[in-house]
């Protein structure tokens, strides 16, 4: 239940964000990350207004130049007068997080452009709720009128790959010299790709890397273990681009648009939207479970049961039976 004092804040932030207040939008995204009642109130209002944006996931091994490519895509989209938001999911490590922050500086040219909004989200501490928080944030940005929402994640962890997979269109980025990592990518990354980009196409070996990827993909070596139900082109297209000099970027944006158009032509909601809806519902249920366990009212009862399980006086299933949760 939303406490009365909180009621209204979510509504006000939602209204202000929709009217173009970047400050309200930022506060709303913070609320969604921390899963407060304000976020629930705002999302209940904003969610029905969303659905128009094209949500694009960008992932790949570290060093592929994802941030630079995103910056180039943002510039290209702005040339077409489109409003663009970027959600950069930083890995938990402050070390790599710092490097990514460095890339963010490239984007500072947009500080005065109201049609560009850039936001970093911490992946640490979400404990499985990252997909839900990302989906909620994308819905807010969508409802606030952004045409394109880029979700940038480092494709190294299960949760990061999951996040990329809930986008309408998922781009997997790699650099030419990453030939040896193709094996690693097969493990989980290429499975979620709608488009594969060999970035840094100005470097030697880019054409060969693209050819290698194309032949691998055409041999059907990529299995669909992660997400067998998701319909996608049998073979993701492989494109060459350079985030640094911008070559191939207009073509990449056109390929994104084509994928989006094909998706919208379907009668039923696209499978990625289903995945996003599921992630949000499951995230809310997880929140409610946590609330039910650790709310002020239940906390001491839960603590007592946990202590009995820790002392092996009670098995954990019996403890759950005793809790009798309703969500």
Q: Which residues bind a copy of itself (CB under 8 A)?
A: 40, 43-44, 47-48, 50-51, 92-95, 123-125, 127-128, 136, 157-159, 183-184, 187-188, 268-270, 273-274, 276-278, 280-286, 288-289, 293, 305-307, 309-313, 315-320, 323-327
Tell me whether residue 135 or residue 241 sits nearer to a copy of itself (CB atom). Answer: 135
Give min distance, CB of 125 to a copy of itself, in A. 8
- Minimal distance in Å, beta carbon 247 to a copy of itself? 31
Q: Tokens 């390929």 sit at which residue?
A: 255
Phi, psi of 16 (to 5 degrees): -65, -40
Cβ distance to a copy of itself smaller for residue 53 or 70: 53
CB of 217 to a copy of itself, least distance (A): 18
Backbone angles phi, psi at 100, to 5 degrees: -65, -40
DSSP per-residue codes, 10-39: HHHHHHHHHTT-HHHHHHHHHHHHHT-HHH
DSSP SS3 for 150: strand
Question: H-helix or E-strand containing 239?
Answer: strand 237-240
Answer for the pair 62, 152: CB distance below 8 angstroms, yes or no: no
Is residue 225 exposed (0-12), middle (13-18) or buried (19+ Cβ within 10 Å)? exposed
Q: Which is nearer to a copy of itself, 115 or 286 (CB)?
A: 286
CB of 186 to a copy of itself, least distance (A): 8
125 vs 204 by CB, closer to a copy of itself: 125
Taking the complex as a whole, the smallest distance from the CB of residue 14 to a copy of itself amounts, in Å, to 12
Which residue's CB is nearer to a copy of itself, number 64 or number 188? 188
Residue 143 near residue 47, CB atoms below 8 Å? yes
Tokens of 219: 């041999």
């Amino acid at each position: 239940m939303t406490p009365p004092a909180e009621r209204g804040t979510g509504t006000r932030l939602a209204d202000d964000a929709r009217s173009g207040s970047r400050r309200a939008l930022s506060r709303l995204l913070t609320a969604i990350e921390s899963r407060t009642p304000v976020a629930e109130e705002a999302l209940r209002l904003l969610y029905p207004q969303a659905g128009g944006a094209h949500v694009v996931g960008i992932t790949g091994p570290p060093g592929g130049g994802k941030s630079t490519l995103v910056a180039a895509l943002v510039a290209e989209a702005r040339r077409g007068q489109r409003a663009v938001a970027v959600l950069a999911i930083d890995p938990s490590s402050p070390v790599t997080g710092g490097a990514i922050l460095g890339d963010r500086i490239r984007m500072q040219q947009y500080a005065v452009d109201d049609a560009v909004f850039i936001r970093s989200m911490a992946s640490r501490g979400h404990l499985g709720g990252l997909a839900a928080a990302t989906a909620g944030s994308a819905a807010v940005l969508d409802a606030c009128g952004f045409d394109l929402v880029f979700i940038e994640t480092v494709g190294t962890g299960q949760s990061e790959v999951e996040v990329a997979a809930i986008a309408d269109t998922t781009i997997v980025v790699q650099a030419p010299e990453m030939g040896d990592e193709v094996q690693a990518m097969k493990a989980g990354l290429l499975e979620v790709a709608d488009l594969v980009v060999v970035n840094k196409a100005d470097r030697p070996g880019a054409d060969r890397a693209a050819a290698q990827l194309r032949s691998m993909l055409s041999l059907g070596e990529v299995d669909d273990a992660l997400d067998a139900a998701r319909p996608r082109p049998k073979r993701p297209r492989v494109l060459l681009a350079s985030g640094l000099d911008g070559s191939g970027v207009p073509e990449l944006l056109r390929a994104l648009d084509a994928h989006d158009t094909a998706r919208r032509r379907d009668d039923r909601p696209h499978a990625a939207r289903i995945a996003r809806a599921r992630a949000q519902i499951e995230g809310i249920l997880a929140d409610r479970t946590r609330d039910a366990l650790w709310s002020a009212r239940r906390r001491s009862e839960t603590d007592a049961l946990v202590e009995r399980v820790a002392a092996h006086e009670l098995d954990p299933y019996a403890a759950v039976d005793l809790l009798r949760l309703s969500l």
